Amino acid sequence: DVLSDADLRADGRLRPDRVAALFARQRMQPTALVARTLWALLVHRLWRHRFFGPSRCPQDAGEASAVSPLAPGP
């Protein structure tokens, strides 16, 4: 599962707690915005797995906001 806690931690690009919060939010109160966000994360992760492999994803030194699922967090 490309959005699993273990896979996200191994890659280090997305914060598993933020992704889990998005799934929980969508379960409790579904919205198109959260659905599209989850869809975009899924497509991104599948693309990375396809072109870089599940364990060979290069790391970026990206910035993250307080609400972003991107790592590293504040």
Cα 21 from chain centroid (whole Å): 11
Residues 47-69 as b/e (b if ≥16 CB within 10 A, e otherwise) read ebbeeeeeeebeeeeeebeeeeb
Q: How many CB atoms lie within 10 A of CB 41?
A: 20
CA distance 68 to 74: 10
Confidence of residue 65 (pLDDT cuts 50, 70, 90): very low
Single pTM value for the model: 0.70
Check whether 26 has a pLDDT greater than 90: yes
Q: Domain ranges for the chain, please list them.
A: 1-74
Cross-strand partners of 70: 14
